Amino acid sequence: MNRIRTRNASTAGSPSGAGAGKRRVRSFTATRQDLTMLDTVARYHGFSKSATITSLVRREFWRLFPAGIRGIRPERGARVVMTGQAARGRGHAG
């Protein structure tokens, strides 16, 4: 297993911009094969590995929770289409 550490100077999510200029360190554990697949997908789309992971997480989140959850709502004007389990009221954590 390999450990990936990413650094992000963003203060999004911190109250009142607290911690402005500080970096958050995030990491995850992956096999060599997982990292090769991530690198391949990132190169295919022309994204960084971090952007690729973020994009995939967002896509999966909105697939699972098309109407959002308590703290995360769809953008104003977004078309929300309920299908599958979400339409039947399952899988909603908010």
Q: Residue 17: what pLDDT?
A: 47
Instruction: Provide block-wise average pLDDT over 10 residues at a time, the chain (94 residues).
Output: 54 48 77 95 95 93 90 84 64 53
Give the contacts of 32 (CB within 8 A, at least 6 positions apart).
Answer: 2
- Domain positions in the chain are 1-9+32-69
User: What does the pLDDT read at residue 53?
Assistant: 93
Strands (E), the chain: 2-8, 24-30
**CB-CB contact of 85 with 91 (8 Å):** yes
> Which pLDDT score, from 0 to 100, does residue 75 have?
84
Per-residue pLDDT at 77: 81
Q: What is the pLDDT of residue 92?
A: 53
The pLDDT of residue 27 is: 84
pLDDT for the residue 82: 74
Q: Which pLDDT score is estimated for 12? A: 46
